């Protein structure tokens, strides 16, 4: 997606400011929704948290009052909302209603798992996608190109959670070759990582192929070949960098779907990352954890988008 809105040149400062504003807006939105959630959910939130923390038979009115003061549920709405926002800005996300551990600790622990999964998926996609795409784009119309393009088009119609189901059925049920759930050993990562990676890989094949095709059909590439550069020299010196900008932009746009995919895929494979934690926080109506996990995923998304923007800037000086 050529981000040309406004027609202003991209600068590092402008990218960072835009993403910081986004982060602020998202934090405001998520924290306000969580605040409303805390007060609007049926039942006494303080009692619920106290019961989750101390056990249903041990909870007393005093314990509930202590929780009420901690969650600022005894204060008027306006003052409590400002206090809530203040806490979020200071990165104090409260304590989990279920485990009583600080949300920041819980989330940073789960984030490690999510990042490991995301890195594995991105690694697969960024190796396989562009490589196959380049091979397709170098010889457009060849049998290789047509096969992979058709395959990529078919795969792109399969959403990650369906693919996950199919992989579980094929590799865990039928062949019993790979674990379907948990983090028992290193093989546990294989299925969820492939599930997340396949859609992105298919997209990358198409985008890389089209980008490389337009590069090899361009005048400057023909000139590079005519002046005597071999195909590989011309590719390295002129082709890949020009093809890399649209490919990076595509990855940037797909990040939202990667984050969304994480929620479904982690839950499906019981991978103890942040998406899995979000779903379980919702089962338990653990509002501080819901807020913490959603905010962490949103900030992760915004941070990665900023990196993608900066990468495009580094690759393509015309945008500066």
Partner 1 sequence: MTMPSVGILNDGAATPKRMTPWQWVGLAILALIGFFGLVAPLIGGDPLIQDLDHVMIKPCLSSPLGTDHLGRSMFARLGHAARLSLLLAALSVLTAAIPGALLGVAAAWRARWTDTALSTIADGVLALPGLLLIVLLTTFAPGKFWPFYVGLSLALWVEYFRVVRAASQTLLRSSPVEASRLLGFGPAYVVRRHLLPELIPVLRTLMTFGAATSVLSLAALGLVGVGLRPPTPELGTMMIELLPHYQEAPWLIAEPIFVLLLAVTGLALVAGERELR
Contact between 137 and partner 1 per CB under 8 A: no
Q: Which is nearer to partner 1, 115 or 165 (CB)?
A: 165
For residue 164 the two structure tokens come to: 């996950």
What's the per-residue H, E or C state across 100-156?
A: CCEHHHHHHHHHHHHHHHHHHHHHHHHHHHHHHHHHHHHCCCCHHHHHHHHHHHHHH
21 in contact with partner 1 (CB under 8 A): yes
Q: Does 301 bind partner 1 (CB under 8 A)?
A: yes
Q: Which of 97, 107, 235, 298 binds partner 1 (CB under 8 A)?
A: 298
Angle of CA points 163, 166, 172, to nearest 5°:
125
* 288 vs 293: CA distance, rounded Å: 9
Of residues 274, 265, 276, the one with CA closest to residue 164: 265
Q: Which of 48, 68, 72, 149 binds partner 1 (CB under 8 A)?
A: 149
Interacting positions 36-55 with partner 1 (CB under 8 A): 37, 40-41
Pick the piece of the chain touching partner 1 (CB under 8 A) from 21-29, 76-84, 89-97, 119-127.
Answer: 21-29
Beta carbon nearer to partner 1, 302 or 315: 302
310 binds partner 1 (CB under 8 A): no
Name which position in 212, 234, 277, 278 contacts partner 1 (CB under 8 A).
278
What x-and-dash track marks residues 153-192 binding partner 1 by CB under 8 A? x--xxxxxxx--xx-xx---x-------------------
Min dist. Cβ of residue 318 to partner 1 (A):
15
Q: Which of 102, 91, 82, 92 is nearest to 32 (CA)?
A: 82
Considering only the stretches 54-62, 79-87, 220-228, 296-304, report the one whose residues sit in contact with partner 1 under the rule CB under 8 A: 296-304
Q: Is 25 in the site for partner 1 (CB under 8 A)?
A: yes
- Answer yes or no whether residue 268 interacts with partner 1 by CB under 8 A: yes
Residue 129 as a binder of partner 1 (CB under 8 A): the answer is no
Q: How far is the CB of 63 from partner 1 (least distance, A)?
A: 24
**Does 197 contact partner 1 by CB under 8 A?**
no
- Residue 288 as a binder of partner 1 (CB under 8 A): the answer is no
Residue 240 or residue 274: which is nearer to partner 1 going by CB?
A: 274
Q: What are 74's two structure tokens? A: 């005894």
How many residues at the interface with partner 1, by CB under 8 A? 60
Asked if 33 interacts with partner 1 (CB under 8 A), we say yes
How far apart (Å, rounded) are the C-alpha atoms in residues 286 and 109?
17
Backbone angles phi and psi of 102, in degrees to 5 = -60, 135
Residues in contact with partner 1 by the rule CB under 8 A: 1-2, 4-5, 18, 21-23, 25-26, 29-30, 33-34, 37, 40-41, 149, 153, 156-162, 165-166, 168-169, 173, 199, 202-203, 206, 250, 253-254, 256-257, 259-261, 263-264, 267-268, 278-279, 282-283, 285, 287, 290, 294, 297-298, 301-302, 305
């Amino acid at each position: 997606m050529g981000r040309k809105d406004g027609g202003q040149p991209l600068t590092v400062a402008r990218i960072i400011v835009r993403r910081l504003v986004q982060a602020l807006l998202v934090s405001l939105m998520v924290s306000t929704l969580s605040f409303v959630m805390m007060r609007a959910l049926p039942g006494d939130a303080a009692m619920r948290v106290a019961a989750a923390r101390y056990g249903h038979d041990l909870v007393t009115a005093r314990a509930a009052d202590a929780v009420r003061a901690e969650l600022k549920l005894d204060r008027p709405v306006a003052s409590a909302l400002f206090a809530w926002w203040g806490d979020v800005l200071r990165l104090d996300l409260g304590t989990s209603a279920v485990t009583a551990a600080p949300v920041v600790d819980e989330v940073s622990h789960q984030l490690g798992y999510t990042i490991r999964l995301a890195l594995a998926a991105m690694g697969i996609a960024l190796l396989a996608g562009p490589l196959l795409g380049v091979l397709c784009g170098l010889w457009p119309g060849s049998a290789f190109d047509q096969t992979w393009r058709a395959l990529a088009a078919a795969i792109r119609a399969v959403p990650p959670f369906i693919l996950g189901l199919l992989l579980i059925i094929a590799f865990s049920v039928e062949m019993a070759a790979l674990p379907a759930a948990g983090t028992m050993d290193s093989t546990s990562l294989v299925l969820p990582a492939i599930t997340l990676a396949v859609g992105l890989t298919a997209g990358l094949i198409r985008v890389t192929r089209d980008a490389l095709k337009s590069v090899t059909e361009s005048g400057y590439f023909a000139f590079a070949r005519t002046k005597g550069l071999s195909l590989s020299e011309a590719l390295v010196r002129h082709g890949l960098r020009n093809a890399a900008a649209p490919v990076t932009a595509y990855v940037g746009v797909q990040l939202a779907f990667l984050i969304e995919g994480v929620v479904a895929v982690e839950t499906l494979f019981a991978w103890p990352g942040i998406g899995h934690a979000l779903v379980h926080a919702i089962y338990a109506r653990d509002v501080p954890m819901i807020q913490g996990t959603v905010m962490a995923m949103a900030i992760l998304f915004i941070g990665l988008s900023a990196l993608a923007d900066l990468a495009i800037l580094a690759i393509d000086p015309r945008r500066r």
